[in-house]
Amino acid sequence: MITRRHLVQGVGLAFAAPWGRAAAPATRVVSIGGAVTETVYALGAQGLLVGVDTTSLYPAAARALPNVGYARSLSAEGVLSLAPTLVVAGEEAGPPAVLRQLEAAKVPVQVLAADHSVAGVAERTRQLAALLGREDAGRALAAQLQRDAQAASAKVAALSGPAPRVLFILAHSMSQVRVAGQRTAADAMLRLAGATNALSGFDGYKPLNPEAAIAAAPDVLLVTNQGLEAAGGIDGLLRAPGLAATPAGRARRVASLDALWLLGFGPRLPSAMTTLAEALRGGAAR
């Protein structure tokens, strides 16, 4: 029996935290969140999936499953139409009213707490495995992830040169450009890659301020592949106010990685750590 409970911020509902095994493993699972879906596949439990959200892009096979929409703007009707016996989601899932509707319809909803650390990803892997009746696979996957992350940390530490100062830019479109402060997935990834967040003094994401960006003097601008494409490439990105006047902008030092790989904190975290570290230090200006 699951006895421990936690309150998901912004939801207003107390969902059972998946730290014990459910009475009967789910047989029809809807997965909300790219990292959650990726972990289901890594556990070998993809046969349980009957639906995913639009952020579930890896592996490619997940894209062929019925889609219930964007994680933050779900509809109860879309989820319920798949007759799930379990909905498992990351903390970004919502809106809260939809999660309440699912609970009211007697569909178990398990929200996995976000923890942007290697230990947090390993624990979430074990939690998800317990929900799916894959405890042995969960323990093995979590242990492998921790070993791989330790090796990745050693590779990062062996890279030469000072820690680069990096400005992470979140841009779904150039009309909505935000930058990352502390307590974000981007900030955590920068630390794991041996880099320094050029911005400090605030938590979360906030709109780009040209003066603050210039004062931060980043060595590298970091953006997701999707954000860079939305901007129209590096030239388009540097048209955002202030960026072209930074050291990174003048040198056209821009690094980009796939959004889920970079920010998802899923099973591929160790490879993201080393790839990001190398891109921030040795990537040629483009």
What are 259-286's pLDDT values in tens digits? 999 999 999 999 999 999 999 997 534 4
Instruction: Look up the pTM and report it.
Output: 0.88
What lies within 8 Å, CB to CB, of 65 at 6+ separation is 49, 50, 51, 52, 56
The domain spans of the chain are 5-146, 161-282
CATH class entry, domain 161-282 = alpha beta
CB 224 within 8 A of CB 170: yes
**The pLDDT of residue 173:** 75
**The pLDDT of residue 284:** 39
Query: Quick one: 5-146 is in which CATH superfamily?
Result: Nitrogenase molybdenum iron protein domain (3.40.50.1980)
**30/23 Cα distance (integer angstroms):** 18
**The pLDDT of residue 245:** 97
Query: Which residue in 48, 66, 118 sits closest to 270, CA to CA?
Result: 118
Burial class (CB in 10 A: 0-12, 13-18, 19+), 58: buried
Q: Point out the residues of the chain with pLDDT beneath 70.
A: 1-25, 283-286
Please determine whether the domains at 5-146 and 161-282 fall in the same fold group of CATH.
yes
Cα–Cα distance list, 112 to 32, 266, 277 (Å) = 10, 12, 28
**The pLDDT of residue 205:** 95
**The pLDDT of residue 285:** 40
**The pLDDT of residue 13:** 37
